[in-house]
Amino acid sequence: MKRIAILTAGADAPGANAAIRSIVRTAYYKDMEVLGVRGGFAGLLSDDVIILTSKSVSGILPRGGTILGTSRTHIDESQIQTIKEVMDRYRITILAVLGDRETMSTCELLSQNDIPVLALPLTIDNDINGTDETIGFDTAVTTIAEALDKLHTTAEAHHRVMVVETMGGATGWLALYGGISGGADFIVIPEVEVEKEKIVDHIYRRRESGRGFSIVVVAEGTKLPWLPQSEVGVGHALAKEIQDATGMETRITVLGHQQRGGSPTVQDRMLATQMGIQLVNAVKEGTINKMVAFSGGRMELINFDLASQIKTADKELYNLAEIFY
Ligand code: F6P
């Protein structure tokens, strides 16, 4: 009987538990067994393996985080033998790895060393290549949009500029989607170099036209030639520049790790569930060394060398966002 061992690696994201549940339930439905590895790749190296049954995933669908725990531990060549021994000991047919872009590089290394692996894209950053969306992105965007809704009312009441810093690593997906869906008045992302004057002029124009407040969303990974590096983050640096240039009272909100928390949205639950089913179908068919991707409305299986490349934010959409500033 085939045995799947699931592990979550890298940063957690809402929908991880929905994906674990989907893999476990689908696997038992199709006469396979499932194990869980706790603490990501670190758990695989330290032999931290548990049995997962349909009952053990009961009630986890709406929960954020991951019941297996995760870590940013990754594998190098010297640890391959240990992993093979653990897999032999537990009679593991294949690893089912849920993780971020760096995790896809680790999966590539495993596959190159004859360790069968299938993966699901799990990250709020949405920066994994080959898939239109990653599990966790929609929930994080929803959190950002809700935060912007709240910030709007107090910004308007005080005629302030609110700078809101989002997560996203090296990409601006979260800032772009969160900004558009939350009605931002300007969005700043790493993919597009923007002049300070453009932001400042826009804030002035809004004020002159009677809108005395502005919400500026900035992605944490943004670097601009005119923006001083700040130990406390790009949001603080940008807020200072805006306040100095406009003379308007400016406040900064760093949304931080709340973007990674909370119950997954319906969209993330569906994506996680469907990707989990797809992964188990691939195991059943004997397919190995692929990541499940959702592309153009269809589930696909793609290679790790493609998946581990960075997917940068959509510049065309960024330009269109200006319509709503
Ligand atoms: O990759 C997800 C992410 O939340 C990024 O958006 C962020 O830059 C990073 O992880 C934060 O990592 P940590 O939780 O280790 O501080």
CB of 123 closer than 6 angstroms to any ligand 1 atom: yes
Tell me the C-alpha distance between 94 and 238, whole Å.
Answer: 47
Q: Checking DSSP bridges between strand 214-219 and strand 117-121, what pairing results, if any?
A: unpaired
Q: Checking DSSP bridges between strand 33-37 and strand 49-52, what pairing results, if any?
A: antiparallel
| Beta bridge pairs of residue 97 | 7, 119
Burial class (CB in 10 A: 0-12, 13-18, 19+), 127: buried
- Which regions of the chain are under pLDDT 50? none
pLDDT digits (tens, 9 = 90+) for 251-300: 999 999 999 999 999 999 999 999 999 999 999 999 999 999 999 999 99
Tell me the C-alpha distance between 288 and 303, whole Å.
Answer: 10
Q: How far is the CA of 167 from the centre of ligand 1 (A)?
A: 7
Q: How far is the CA of 126 from the centre of ligand 1 (A)?
A: 12
Catalytic residue positions, numbered: 125
Tell me the C-alpha distance between 39 and 8, whole Å.
Answer: 7
Closest-CA residue, ligand 1 atom 15, reads 11
| Beta bridge pairs of residue 98 | 8, 120
CB of 12 closer than 6 angstroms to any ligand 1 atom: no
Sheet holding 214-219, edge to edge: 186-188, 214-219, 161-166, 250-254
CB of 168 closer than 6 angstroms to any ligand 1 atom: yes
> What does the DSSP 8-state code read for residue 122?
B
Closest-CA residue, ligand 1 atom 8, reads 169
SS3 63: coil
Q: What is the pLDDT of residue 167?
A: 98
Q: How far is the CA of 137 from the centre of ligand 1 (A)?
A: 13
What residue ranges define each of the domains in the chain, with the CATH number in brackets? 3-136+264-307 (3.40.50.450), 140-260 (3.40.50.460)
CB of 260 closer than 6 angstroms to any ligand 1 atom: yes
Do residues 282 and 118 lie in contact, with contact meaning Cβ atoms separated by under 8 Å?
Answer: yes
Q: What is the pLDDT of residue 262?
A: 97
Among the atoms of ligand 1, which is closest to the Cα of residue 260?
A: 4
Distances (CA, A) of 284 to 109, 121, 219, 301: 23, 20, 41, 14
Q: How far is the CA of 293 from the centre of ligand 1 (A)?
A: 22
Q: What is the pLDDT of residue 244?
A: 97
Distances (CA, A) of 132 to 84, 137, 282, 309: 33, 11, 20, 13
> What does the DSSP 8-state code read for residue 9?
E
- The verdict on pTM exceeding 0.85 is yes
Q: Of how many residues is the chain composed?
A: 325
CA 155 to chain centre: 28
Among the atoms of ligand 1, which is closest to the Cα of residue 174?
A: 6
